[in-house]
Amino acid sequence: MAAVILDKGLQRSTEGHALWVRFSHWILAASVLTLAVSGFIILMSHPRLYWGAVGNDLTPALFELPISRNYHHGGWTEPLTFFPGAGTGATAIVSQARTYDIFNQNGWARSLHFLAAWFLIVAALIYLAAGLIGGHLRRHVIPRAGELSPRSLWQDILAHVHLPMPRAAGGPPYGPLQKLAYFGVVVLTLPLILVTGLAMAPAVTAAYPVLLDLFGGSQSARTIHFFAFVALMLFLAVHVAMVVLTGFRRQMRAMTLGD
Amino acid sequence: MKTNMLVMSRRKLVTGLASAGGLLLAGCSSRELPPTYGNVLRMGDLLTYRAFRMLLPAQSLAREYAHRDISSSPAVGNTNPADSQQPGFNADRGPLYDRLRSDYFADWRLRVEGRVVRPTSFSLADLKRMPARTQITKHTCEEGWSAIAEWTGVPLRTVLEAAGIQPSARFVNYYAYDDDAEGIDMLDALHPQTILAYGMNGRDLPLAHGAPLRMRVETQLGYKSVKFLERIVVTNEFDDLGKIGSLQNGWAWYVGI
């Protein structure tokens, strides 16, 4: 049954990937990988995540990641107290000076991150504009109501758990899970990760403070930015696995040469 | 806190791409923009700077918070210019800072020079006599953390106008008692929230936070808010500030992002 569904897709596929899809796909792929690596290096210099407007080593973290020598580092001077914090039982507002030589490669990592972000923005705009105008998004990416029925989704899940996977043609039409994955990345996660990134930029939030309210503060935005990165990396893992399992050579050929 | 990473050897690595950077300069004198040194990362920085200046409404105010929102504030980077063990210690100005501090900065002066009508030096008392501004704002560190504090000081604009800004002025550069210096364009320099702060959270600016005077640039990252100010130099051309500036140490000059 599962194979039948995919085979049906294989038979119907005559389009392959349009040139603009291939072009934007590889620019997006390179930008996302560069952003992921540089973003991880940026995160390593402060591997603590928070919720709300502010967060630092002297305030409680939501969670911490053991990804650099900065994790739980203990080099701080005696606190200087400004005044008691607001509210009942609040701790004092203090300052402490750092005495620990932290890992920090943000000089190049930040600049590389934003350089890659410009490429991502341009490629995403090309993809979304061409996808909206030509109907690619409506016809091939946005799931139709019927495809989201439990029965349809369940059948597609079953089709994905049988090994070996049937060989698939490169390009649309896509199955319900595939559509959900691409829709989730292109229409939801990439815009979300861009906007949460901008919500951390002081000049941008001064011009558009609504970004702070939208996410509950720039530290919340930073945490959402991190989870969006995790979601993209999970997508990437599954995406590459599916490419390999359904015919690596044919899929790569379809996304580069277009046939 | 930004650490120094000399990347001047990389300068010529991507000179071939310098011509691409030239495209970004169209319609603007290159002496009025941060240089790229042919480095692709600096070209990206320049693109961000130009795009932000073109796309974002000018002089929007950064959010100001309530007193109850004030948080604890880590002090990073140099926390005492007189301490020879700290990063950026300067053998000439360090001991001088020590003497000034031992006298509660009574003899401390902020020099304002360059493209100003009347080069002037201001004592701390002079600055405190000028109209003050108090703002509760968020300090965003490039490392990823942030802190909200109340800052009291005199708007940089007020001090510059007291010295008289020449029409040709384009940048304001400021130097510290340690080996730190930064610069901003006139748009940020004249921003109402760009202040020379002598007070933090209701007390005199603590040593570790830049006593007696620090810059606060609320529309950019924390490292533009240089501590332990020594002098201000107004220029009509871009100055990368040499070995103590951000650029030659591999850091972006404009960090509104």
Size of interface A-B (CB pairs under 8 A): 169
% of chain B exceeding 70 in pLDDT = 89
C-alpha radius of gyration, chain A, whole number: 23
The answer to whether the CB atoms of B143 and A46 lie below 8 A apart is: yes
Q: Is the pLDDT of residue B9 over 70?
A: no
Contact A56 B251 (CB under 8 A): no
Q: Is residue B180 part of a domain?
A: yes
CB contact under 8 A, A87 and B68: yes
Residue B17 has pLDDT above 70, yes or no: no
Question: Is there a contact between A114 and B45 if contact means CB atoms under 8 Å apart?
Answer: yes
* Rounded mean pLDDT, B69-78: 96
Helices (H) and strands (E) in chain A, counts: 11, 4
Q: Is residue B242 part of a domain?
A: yes
Instruction: Please check whether residue B182 lies inside any domain of the structure.
Output: yes
Q: What stretches of A61-209 show up as alpha helix (H) in DSSP? A: 106-133, 136, 150-161, 176-183, 190-198, 202-207
User: Taking CA B133 as the corner, what is the angle to CA A213 and CA B195, rounded to the nearest 5 degrees?
Assistant: 85
**B202 vs A: CB within 8 A:** yes
| Interface mutation vs chain B, best among A93, A198, A208, most B CBs within 10 Å | A93
Mean pLDDT over residues B223-252, rounded?
Answer: 97
In a domain, B1, yes or no: no
pLDDT (0 to 100) of residue A87: 61
Mean pLDDT of B8-29: 48
Does the distance separating the beta carbons of B208 and A80 come in below 8 Å?
Answer: yes
Residue with more model confidence, A188 or A12:
A188
Task: Report pLDDT for A3.
Answer: 39
- Tell if the CB–CB gap between A104 and B68 is shorter than 8 Å: no
Q: What is the pLDDT of residues B104-160, one digit of tens each?
A: 999 999 999 999 999 999 999 999 999 999 999 999 999 999 999 999 999 999 999
Burial grade of B249 (CB within 10 A; 0-12, 13-18, 19 or more) = middle
Q: For strands B73-75 and A92-97, give the pairing.
A: parallel
* Domains of chain A as residue ranges with CATH: 2-68+104-256 (1.20.950.20), 73-102 (no CATH)
Residue A234 clears pLDDT 90, i.e. is over it: yes
Average pLDDT over every residue of A125-144: 94
Range of the domain at B98: 8-249
All residues of chain B having their beta carbon less than 8 Å from the beta carbon of residue A45 are: 143-144
What are the tens digits of pLDDT across the range A24-77? 999 999 999 999 999 999 999 999 999 999 999 999 999 999 999 999 988 999
Which residue in B145, B152, B248 has the most chain A C-beta atoms within 10 A of its own C-beta, making it the best mutation to test that interface?
A: B145
Task: State whether residue A54 sits within 8 Å of chain B by CB.
Answer: yes
- B200: which chain A residues are within 8 Å (Cβ-Cβ)? 82
Interface test with chain B among A31, A73, A80, by most B beta carbons within 10 Å? A80
Mark which residues 126-185 of A lie under 8 Å from B by CB.
none
User: Are B75 and A95 an interchain contact pair (Cβ–Cβ within 8 Å)?
Assistant: yes
Nearest alpha carbon to residue B176 among B123, B219, B250, B232: B232
Mean pLDDT across chain B, nearest whole number? 92
B residues 121-180 lying closer than 8 A (beta carbon) to A: 138, 140-148
Q: Above 70 in pLDDT, residue B11?
A: no
Q: Considering the domain boundaries, does residue B257 fall inside one?
A: no
Smallest Cβ–Cβ distance between A55 and the set B146, B208, B257 belongs to B146
Residue B201: inside a domain: yes
Smallest CA–CA distance from A119 into chain B, residue: B44
- Under the banding of pLDDT at 50, 70 and 90, the label for residue A1 is very low
3-class DSSP string for B209-228: HCCCCEEECCCCCHHHCCCC
Q: Identify whether B68 is part of a domain.
A: yes
Q: CA-to-CA distance for A30 and B212, rounded, in angstroms?
A: 47
Q: What's the confidence (pLDDT) of residue A166?
A: 82
- The arithmetic mean of pLDDT across residues B5-14, rounded, is 46
- Domain membership flag for residue B129: yes
The number of domains in chain B is 1
Mean pLDDT of B208-233: 98
Residue B198: which CATH number?
A: 3.90.420.10
pLDDT tier for residue B30 given thresholds of 50, 70 and 90:
confident
| ipTM for the complex shown | 0.91
pLDDT of residue A138: 94
Nearest-angstrom CA–CA distance, B32 and B171: 8
Rounded to the nearest integer, the mean pLDDT of chain A is 91
Given the structure tokens 């730190």, which residue do they identify? B180
Helix then strand then coil, in percent of chain A rounded to 5, is: 60, 5, 30
Residue B239 CA to residue B132 CA, distance in Å, equals 29
- Among the ranges given (A7-11, A64-68, A157-161), the one the predictor scored with the smallest mean pLDDT: A7-11
